Amino acid sequence: MADTTILDKEELRTFVADVLDVDEADLTDDADFVKTLGVDSLMALEVMVVLEKKYGVKLDEREMKDITCLRKVHDLLVSKLAK
């Protein structure tokens, strides 16, 4: 299992909520970006671009499609940053 101390989930929550312009309380670990928060493909792409810039990682198209909630974003970034 990856070391989750590499990336603070609450800091990530604040950052993603700001990019998506949603309330942090609504951005629970398992809230579905599309079904629950109404994120469209353009907003999802914007999140990926800013995450790549902020954390210095590269996300491919397949990974972007798999990211549907904050927990999955966190897990993916932790695995990328641990390399």
Average pLDDT, the chain: 90
Please answer whether residues 9 and 74 qualify as being in contact, where contact means their C-beta atoms are separated by less than 8 angstroms. yes
Q: Is the pLDDT of residue 5 over 80?
A: no
Task: Characterize 7-21 residue by residue with b for buried, 16 or more Cβ atoms within 10 angstroms of its Cβ, and e for exposed.
Answer: bebeebbebbbebbe
| Residue-level pLDDT at 61 | 85
pLDDT digits (tens, 9 = 90+) for 40-67: 989 988 999 999 999 999 998 888 888 8
Instruction: Name the band, by pLDDT with cuts 50, 70 and 90, for residue 83.
Output: confident
The stretch 25-51 carries a mean pLDDT of 93
| Residue-level pLDDT at 44 | 87
